[in-house]
Each structure stands twice: as structure tokens, then as C-alpha cells.
Amino acid sequence: MMDWSIQRLLKESPFVSDYFEQNKLDVSGYESMTFSQFLDHFSIQELEDQAIDKERLLADLPVFLRQMQEFLGMSPSALVHSLTILPGHDKSGKPEGFERLTVNTSQIISIVGPTGSGKSRLLADIEWAAQADTPTGRSILINEEVPDNKWRFSSNNKLVAQLSQNMNFVMDLTVQDFLQLHAQSRLCEDPDTVIARIIEEANRLAGEQFQMDTPVTSLSGGQSRALMIADTAILSASPIVLIDEIENAGIDRKKALKLLVAEDKIVLMATHDPLLALIADQRIVIQNGGIHKVISTSEEEKQLLEELEKMDSVIQGARQKLRNGNFLSTADLA
């Protein structure tokens, strides 16, 4: 691999650009050279001024490539087994009343609380692996340790898949172009099959179908949400999944959750929906910007969940009928 041109390296292993970035090496314009030739082009003065250690850079590149390949090929649970939240303070500056909160793989935690209480903020703290440097003062540990900066700040963070509350597409791309870009950056082996699957799953979640050549800017709110859910579920191997409200867009939220929550993931989900809140093993209650309580779903609640699901399917049925332009009758509520 070391005799490959930079161009070929970038093509075969796109993540190698992280290595160049981390080492502040600007390879643009030198793509036809090997990495070693590239390092040779610096003058002695430049090597000194920029503190470039040629030997080390050459020796580290294959190690980096191997580690990244292992990393990407590894099952997520082997990589991350726990996420820990250390307390900060609420909106009034009052310290949060818990010592530490650890979530392990294969657990789903819901986050509940009034509008504006700070649910999305908590997800953002986790996404950025806050280190007392956000408005809440919280810190996040991964596997009981402060996460590596390369995880915190790398442009394509592989640790966390975030499904955010609001998303607006601003780029002028078709659904296919958009997914193609994503598949490329995720080193997908068979992008066409994967893209077709994402579109199929997204259309199963959304109402009216969209196509490969639909511009992303013309998708409805629910359709773009469905697209992002399918994209996150199918393309991302991230061990931590953060979901900010999947219920709002009129998509099938239980199907969506099923798609997103694969085994050995750590899932945190902000929600206003009692069904989703109770599907979780535990729920974090947020008040005034702080974690107020952490509650384990009780046995009684689990039984009530079944009741709630029955009520919910009645509501869903009514929604479907009205959406399709039908009349609702008493029989529909039985």
C-alpha cells in the first residue's frame, strides 16, 4: 500500500484523509505522488518549521490504515460498551442531583420532559462528547474514559449516529446523489444495492412514495425524516444512536424504531410519546435543563404498555382512514 499514489489511497481508503488532516498535511496538488514522495518534497526548512517528522509519519500510516480497517470492520459492541454522563447543572445553575449515569450496549433510554426543558440539549452533549464545555457543564465518558479527540472532532464521526429533530436539506441533489455521497463516505462496498434498500425502507415508513431522482429539496417533512431514518439505520455502523423525536412527522414510529435499534447499540431517544417512552428500559426525566430523575420502567408500566399499544392502533387506524379520505365510523373505534 505504501507504493500507492495518494490518489489511490484516498480512493481505496477515504478515511486516510483524516490521517492527513490530523497531521496537518495538505496533500492537495500532490495526489499523483506516493506518500513517501510527498514527504520528500518538503525542504529542510519546511520540515523544521512545521515540525514534520517524516520517519514517524511514514511508520504510522500503515498502522493507522490497519487500525481504521479493523475499526470499521469490527462489530460496534466490541468498540464501545458503555456511555457515561457526568452531572452538570440546570438552567438556573443548580447542580444536577445524580452522581453518574452509565448506559450499556443493547439498552434503550428515553428522554422525557416538557417542551424546552433540555432534551435535545442532552443529546447534543452526547453527540459532541461534552467535556464541561457546553451550556450544561456535563461531561461524557465512553467506556469509562474521556473519549479521544479524534473521535470528538473528526469530520465523519463514526461513534454516534444522530437523528436530529429539525433538518432542512439545502443542497441541490437528487435522493440518489445524496445517498451516493453518503455511501461513499461510509466506504460502502456495494452502494447501488444499499441505496436501493434505503429508498425502499424509507418509502415503507413514509406515506407517498418518492423516487431515486426526486430532488431532496422537494421531499416533504415526513419523507425527509423517513429518508434520514433509513439512511442512519442502514448505512451507519455507529455504536451509539441518538434519536430526537421520531413521532412528529407522521411516519410509522414503531417501524422506524425497529429499523434503528439494532442489537449491541446504545440508544438514547428524546420523545413526547408515552409508547416510545415506555418501550425504553429506563427514562431520563429532564426539568429546567437538568436531569431531574432516572426511572426504570416498572412491571406495571410494561403491562400498561400493551394496553396503550391497543389504544394506539385504534388511533393509527383512524389516522389512516382520514388520510385516505374516508369517513370514520363507530366500528373503527372498537
Note the residues at the interface with ligand ATP (CB under 6 A): 89-91, 113, 115-121, 135-136, 165, 270, 289-290
Q: Which is nearer to ligand ATP, 22 or 165 (CB)?
A: 165
236 makes contact with Mg ion (CB under 5 A): no
With contacts defined by CB under 5 A, name the span among 7-15, 112-120, 219-227, 316-324 that binds Mg ion: 112-120
With contacts defined by CB under 5 A, name the span among 27-35, 103-111, 115-123, 183-191 that binds Mg ion: 115-123
Q: Which is nearer to ligand ATP, 52 or 285 (CB)?
A: 285
Q: Kindly report the length of the chain.
A: 334
Q: How far is the CB of 35 from ligand ATP (least distance, A)?
A: 43
Strand duo 290-296 + 160-163: pairing: unpaired
Asked if residues 245 and 115 have their Cβ atoms less than 8 Å apart, the reply is no
Grid coordinates of 182? 453518503
Q: Which is nearer to ligand ATP, 30 or 98 (CB)?
A: 98
Distance CA 146, CA 130 (A): 10
Closest residue to bound ligand ATP by CB: 289
Q: How far is the CB of 292 from ligand ATP (least distance, A)?
A: 11
Phi, psi of 105 (to 5 degrees): -60, 155
Strand partners, 142: 83, 145
Angle 170-225-332 from CA coordinates, rounded to 5°: 145
115's contact among ligand ATP, Mg ion, none, with CB below 5 to 8 A by partner kind, is ligand ATP
271's contact among ligand ATP, Mg ion, none, with CB below 5 to 8 A by partner kind, is none
197's contact among Mg ion, ligand ATP, none, with CB below 5 to 8 A by partner kind, is none
**Secondary structure (3-state) at 77:** helix
Closest by CA position to 229, among listed 210, 196, 203, 192: 203
Look up residue 253 and give its amino acid: R
Q: Which is nearer to ligand ATP, 50 or 166 (CB)?
A: 166
Closest residue to bound Mg ion by CB: 120
120 makes contact with Mg ion (CB under 5 A): yes
Asked if residues 242 and 266 have their Cβ atoms less than 8 Å apart, the reply is no
Q: How far is the CB of 116 from Mg ion (least distance, A)?
A: 8
Number of residues that bind Mg ion (CB under 5 A): 2
116's contact among Mg ion, ligand ATP, none, with CB below 5 to 8 A by partner kind, is ligand ATP
With contacts defined by CB under 5 A, name the span among 1-9, 10-18, 164-172, 308-316 that binds Mg ion: 164-172
Count of beta carbons in the 10 Å neighbourhood of residue 19: 21
Q: How far is the CB of 253 from ligand ATP (least distance, A)?
A: 16
Asked if residues 47 and 54 have their Cβ atoms less than 8 Å apart, the reply is yes
Distance CA 12, CA 6 (A): 10
Distance CA 289, CA 154 (A): 28
Q: Which is nearer to ligand ATP, 17 or 288 (CB)?
A: 288
Q: Which is nearer to ligand ATP, 195 or 267 (CB)?
A: 267
Distance CA 35, CA 50 (A): 17
Distance CA 202, CA 222 (A): 10
Closest by CA position to 133, among listed 88, 85, 92: 88
Asked if residues 147 and 162 have their Cβ atoms less than 8 Å apart, the reply is no
Q: How far is the CB of 114 from ligand ATP (least distance, A)?
A: 7
Q: How far is the CB of 135 from ligand ATP (least distance, A)?
A: 4
With contacts defined by CB under 5 A, name the span among 86-94, 158-166, 280-288, 295-303 that binds Mg ion: 158-166
Q: Which residues bind Mg ion (CB under 5 A)?
A: 120, 165
